[in-house]
Amino acid sequence: MRLSDCSSRVALLAPLLASSASAFYFPGVAPTPYKKGDLIPLHVNHLTPADSQNDPKLRSVFSFDYYHPPFHFCQPEGGPKYIRESLGSILFGDRIQTSPFELKMKVNETCKAVCPSVTYTARDAVFVNSRIYQGYDINWLVDGLPAAQLLRDPDTDETFYSPGFELGRVVGQQPTFNNHYDIIVDYHEYSKDNYRVVGVLVDPYSTRDSKYLEAGKGECPQNPDEAPAVLSEEEGASTSLTFTYSVWWIESDTPFATRWDKYLHVYDPKIHWFSLVNSAIIVAFLVGMVSTILIQTLKKDIARYNRLDQFVLEDFSGNGSVEDGVQEDSGWKLVHGDVFRPPRNPLLLSVLVGNGAQLFAMAGLTIAFALLGFLSPSNRGSLGTVIILFYTLFGFIGGYVSSRVYKFFHGESWKQVFVITPLALPSVVFSIFFLLNLFVWGRGASGAVPFTTMLILVIIWFVISVPLSLAGSWVGFKQTVIEPPVRTNQIPRQIPPSRGYLRIVPSMALAGVLPFGAIFVELYFIMNSIWFSKMYYMFGFLFLCYGLMIITSAAVTVLMVYFLLCSENYHWQWRSFCTAGASAFYVFASALLYWMKDLSFGSWTSGVLYLGYSTMISLLFFVLTGTIGFFASWLFVLKIYRSIKVD
Ligand SMILES: *[C@@H]1O[C@H](CO)[C@@H](O)[C@H](O)[C@H]1NC(C)=O
């Protein structure tokens, strides 16, 4: 009975983890019904770098507007228009515009021409060819679905839709440019003469001989493979091409509700399980260690200290002998008069911890929301929007936490805490972001975030986040101060020099590796999705990893702080923050490793962008894990000193 109960629970859990895609998918958009012959808009998005068939490494991190002039893609009549998008979508790089392609529901077409022939100068050719070498992908959207290429997973032999299709292909040493698109649209008949789009594939190829006949008509050559379109880079040369497309409508059984499933393919689910089990073992081991070592020794310590108290009293009253081994007062109790002495630079620590609490709440709630399926890739841009929304709203938490911690540290510069808390992290992150964007602008790539979006971000920050943070600080300021359980001596105690792993750098190196171990596989997949423009949707795993990371950070920091206090060093505040935060250095190192392994930039500019974003992510991670470590240690220190008697 028990067993079956348990196994059914595991069975419930399994799909949740393996593919939150199908189990937890809320349709992002209401289905649009089409009748036969209805026009279905085809929108174009930016061109993104990707790994190509002959090159598994990524060569660039810049994306380009679809209508970036050297590409010469055909424009709709009256020029392309931007489609309105959410803030998150724009921040994550989407630039969606209208296109001249006409898809009519259930109307097959062969070789329609999009615009009269276009001409590439040698300069354009150099630009386009180098994008082909770098394996750029074209991204289209049909009825909200990305146009995909059909790929096969070599491990499972399953086919799936991989969003984006090739700009061109390198054949031998020669880049060939795709100027014909076979568009294959899957449709589902929902009710009579009521159809829905449930899948889009594009099979592009390159052909020199396609012709533009008369308005809107085109002609495809018989054997396209024999004469691919090659853009000539020779001095003074120019190449003329015609863009053509064919549309095939294929009936499908897939209902609208599950149309995203074939896009959300989980590569190698085993590795996620493996890493999860792996980190779970680490965590179990760690928590076991902490609970046995700490609770056992602490119990003994506390009993001893309290017993010692009695002995000391008896000693004073003149009788009673002291047992062996308990004569000297040693260990963490010795520093009771200093352990709650405010740290150096309490302002900075309070601000960091406040910002970290804000990040912590934002990340936790975002992942939980994602787990429930609200942020599936079908809701384009929802992830980015929700991150910004939560971060903005949790300004309150940031302010509250920083001012309470500051009060605990007996801080005096109240005005500064109030002002610096909402400004600190956002301004650093925004500056990095802004500089990197300037850089992208300067380079002429069009993937930069538009200036107006930046302005909106700043306005949101000042109008909503800053006031909320000030309000939070005010509420925190009004609260009574958290009383330390022991009094602080007037004169600071001498700290004996630390030895071995208790010195700051070794302790950071040792402790940081464990929280990193809990997340590094998921981190790898997240990096893949950021740099290779792949969708990320394994939020079930991410949720568990986040939980494991919190527990690991907390446990390892508490252990470190215990040893530190035992060595009579009471500077635990900054130490706990830095020890836990050290995992960020591992995150940064793994970004460098990832660069070596999976990326190979043709230009130093891509490298700068990559390093810039990696630094930003590591910085956020430092503040986040550092905060977890600080709070765990704070609770721990309060608890252990509460349990001893001090006269
Ligand atoms: C379109 O072409 C495909 C492939 O030849 C065919 O299976 C399908 O029935 C055609 N659809 C219509 C509506 O003619």
Question: What's the pLDDT at 201?
Answer: 95
* Residue 111 CA, ligand 1 centroid: distance in Å: 15
Label residue 27 by pLDDT band (50, 70, 90).
Answer: very low
Residue 84 contacts residue 74 (beta carbons within 8 Å): no
- CA-nearest residue for atom 7, ligand 1, is 250
DSSP code for 362: H
Residue 574 one-letter amino acid: W
> Of the ranges 83-87, 155-159, 457-461, 594-598, which one carries the lowest mean pLDDT score?
155-159
CA angle centred on 218, ends 214 and 222, rounded to 5°? 140
- Which atom of ligand 1 approaches the CA of 106 most closely? 13
**pLDDT tens digits, 382-407:** 889 999 999 999 999 999 999 999 99
DSSP code for 293: I
Question: What's the pLDDT at 590?
Answer: 95
* Residue 246 CA, ligand 1 centroid: distance in Å: 12
**pLDDT tens digits, 302-358:** 888 777 666 555 544 444 444 444 445 568 888 888 999 999 999 999 999 999 999
Between CA 470 and CA 232 the distance in angstroms is: 61
In the 3-class helix/strand/coil scheme, how is 573-603 assigned residue by residue? HHHHHHHHHCHHHHHHHHHHHHHHHHECCCC
Q: What share of the chain is helix, strand, coil (3-state, %, to 5)?
A: 50, 15, 35
In the 3-class helix/strand/coil scheme, how is 143-197 assigned residue by residue? CCEECEEEEECCCCCCEEEEECEECEEEECCEEEECCEEEEEEEEEEEECCEEEE
Tokens in use for 499? 């030895």
**pLDDT tens digits, 530-555:** 888 888 888 888 898 899 899 999 99
Angstrom distances, CA of residue 506 to CA of 125, 228, 558, 585, 628: 54, 60, 16, 13, 20
In this predicted structure, the answer to whether residue 213 has a pLDDT above a threshold of 80 is: no
Total residue length of the chain: 647
275 phi, psi to nearest 5 deg = -65, -35
Non-local (6+) Cβ contacts of 460 within 8 A are 388, 392
Please state, for a pLDDT cut of 70, what percent of the chain lies above it. 89
Between CA 51 and CA 525 the distance in angstroms is: 15
- CA-nearest residue for atom 6, ligand 1, is 250
> Of the ranges 1-15, 41-55, 315-329, which one carries the lowest mean pLDDT score?
1-15
- Identify the helix (H) or strand (E) that includes residue 279: helix 269-289
For ligand 1, residues with CB inside 6 Å are 106, 108, 248-250
Between CA 379 and CA 27 the distance in angstroms is: 8
* Residue 37 CA, ligand 1 centroid: distance in Å: 14
In this predicted structure, the answer to whether residue 495 has a pLDDT above a threshold of 60 is: yes
Site to probe by mutation for ligand 1, drawn from 203, 249, 251, 252 as the one with most ligand atoms within 8 Å of Cβ, is 249
* Residue 102 CA, ligand 1 centroid: distance in Å: 17
Inter-helix orientation angle 604-642/583-598, to 10°: 150
Terminal Cα-to-Cα distance of the chain (whole angstroms)? 56
Between 136 and 213, name the one with better pLDDT. 136
HSE at residue 93, side-chain half, CA atoms within 13 A, is 21
Q: Taking Cα atoms as reference points, which of 573, 543, 556 lies closest to residue 515?
A: 556
- CA-nearest residue for atom 2, ligand 1, is 248
- CA-nearest residue for atom 11, ligand 1, is 249
Label residue 60 by pLDDT band (50, 70, 90).
Answer: confident
Collapsing DSSP to helix, strand or coil, 261 comes out as coil
Question: What's the pLDDT at 29?
Answer: 60
User: Phi-psi bin for 480: left (phi > 0), alpha (psi -120 to 50), beta?
Assistant: beta
Mean pLDDT, residues 472-500: 89
> How distant is the alpha carbon of residue 210 from its chain centre?
43
**pLDDT tens digits, 427-445:** 999 999 999 988 888 876 6
**pLDDT tens digits, 353-366:** 999 999 999 999 99
Between 269 and 109, name the one with better pLDDT. 109
Question: What's the pLDDT at 441?
Answer: 83
**pLDDT tens digits, 252-277:** 999 888 888 888 877 777 777 887 88
Q: Domain residues of the chain, as ranges? A: 2-19+34-258, 345-483, 504-647
Between CA 213 and CA 218 the distance in angstroms is: 5
Q: Is this prediction's pTM over 0.85?
A: yes
Label residue 22 by pLDDT band (50, 70, 90).
Answer: very low
28 phi, psi to nearest 5 deg = -70, -45
According to DSSP, the residues that pair with 152 across neighbouring strands are 159
- Which atom of ligand 1 approaches the CA of 107 most closely? 13
